[in-house]
Structure 1
Amino acid sequence: MATIPSNRPVLTAPVADQSALDLGLLVIRLVVGVTMAAHGTQKLFGWFDGGGISGTGGFFESSGYPQGETMAWIAGLSETLGGIGLIAGLFTPLAAAAILGVMINAIAVKGTGEFFAPKGIEYDLVLACTAAGLALTGPGRVAFDHYLPGLRYHRLAYGIAAIALAAVTAAVVLVIRG
């Protein structure tokens, strides 16, 4: 066993090179982060053929959410800021929680009973599970979190708390939806 500066023992895993893990996590963070930030800007600004706040707000209202434009702001900011957080590896558990919460709602709204696109939930499920996985694993060493004293060494508790936060927040929004 090795120790980290906080004198907490950690198990070392000779299974994979740490640099390979860091690069793999970086690739995942970049792809999901850019994807989600782009989706958020569709909602907020109408970029990339998005609906903007009014169009997205109309979609939310037609999906049963009250105050559609408010929900569009919440979803757009969650996706944009969560995506940017993943790209940078900054406050990664919270960034992942923002994305996970939105994806839980997306899956609930589709609720078609179908799995495959375009009507199914496969895409949303992949993004939700990837966000949950990143919350649990942390961003790797190629991330701003690696240079922040409290986040340098990712703790499983951060990931579990982030997933719980996403689940509770998503549940509250779904209850508001009715």
Structure 2
Amino acid sequence: MPTTRFAPYAPQLLSVLRIMAGLLFLAHGTQKLLGFPAGGGSPAMMSLGWFAGVIEIVTGILITIGLFTRPAAFLASGTMAFAYFIAHAPRDFFPVNNGGDAAILYCFVFLYFAAAGAGPWSVDASRRAA
């Protein structure tokens, strides 16, 4: 049955999704604060953009390695909800038109990690096993 074929791999795929989402989120932060990868800028220190970049870097690293995943993901989820309503929603009602579809997706993926945890391939899982 095709619906259960990959079910045994669900925990590992949770870890893969977490790692990829964390790395992509980290890249948003490094672009904002460090200009890497190319582009981005350097927002004024203590501005909303600066705080967003710091949160993206810190939570991106924590989510990627799976350390303190639930609280890091909860913070990242809230940050993306805030970003959507502050920066994207005022532009247009539809997310595909206002550029906020990634923020919404990050928000709900991170909310899922806050509930589901990091999966087996994580520092959190290693710490539980020790």
Which secondary structure does the structure 2 equivalent of 1:139 belong to?
A: coil
Q: Do the aligned partners of 1:113 and 1:120 also contact (CA within 8 Å) in 2?
A: no
Instruction: Name the structure 2 match of 1:143.
Output: 122
Counterpart of 1:98 (choices 51, 57, 75) is 75
Instruction: Name the structure 1 match of 2:3.
Output: none
Which secondary structure does the structure 2 equivalent of 1:52 belong to?
A: coil
Instruction: Name the structure 1 match of 2:50.
Output: 73
Q: Does 1:115 align with 2:95?
A: yes
Per-residue deviation, 1:87: 1.0
Distance (Å, rounded) in 2 between the aligned partners of 1:22 and 1:143: 11
TM-score when scaled to structure 2? 0.81
Within a 5 Å distance, the mapping from 1:23-172 to structure 2 comes to: 23-54=12-43, 57=44, 69-70=45-46, 71-108=48-85, 109-111=87-89, 112-117=92-97, 119-149=98-128
Structure 1 residue runs of 5 or longer lacking an equivalent are: 1-14, 58-68, 153-178
- In the alignment, residue 88 of structure 2 is paired with which amino acid? K
Distance (Å, rounded) in 1 between the aligned partners of 2:42 and 2:78: 19
- In the alignment, residue 124 of structure 2 is paired with which amino acid? D
- In the alignment, residue 23 of structure 1 is paired with which amino acid? Q
Which secondary structure does the structure 1 equivalent of 2:96 belong to?
A: coil
Q: Do the aligned partners of 2:88 and 2:95 also contact (CA within 8 Å) in 1?
A: no
Structure 2 residue runs of 5 or longer lacking an equivalent are: 1-5
Distance (Å, rounded) in 2 between the aligned partners of 1:120 and 1:85: 26
- In the alignment, residue 30 of structure 1 is paired with which amino acid? I
Distance (Å, rounded) in 2 between the aligned partners of 1:30 and 1:146: 14
Bigger Rg, which one:
1
Name which structure has the greater RCO, CA cutoff 8 Å, separation 6+.
Answer: 2
Q: How many residues align?
A: 120
Percent identity reads: 30
TM-score when scaled to structure 1? 0.61
Which string of whole-angstrom CA distances, capped at 9 and with x for unpartnered residues, describes residues 58-113 of structure 1? xxxxxxxxxxx312332111101111111111100122123212211221121121
Per-residue deviation, 1:50: 3.4
Which secondary structure does the structure 2 equivalent of 1:134 belong to?
A: helix
Task: Supply the RMSD in Å over aligned alpha carbons.
Answer: 1.9
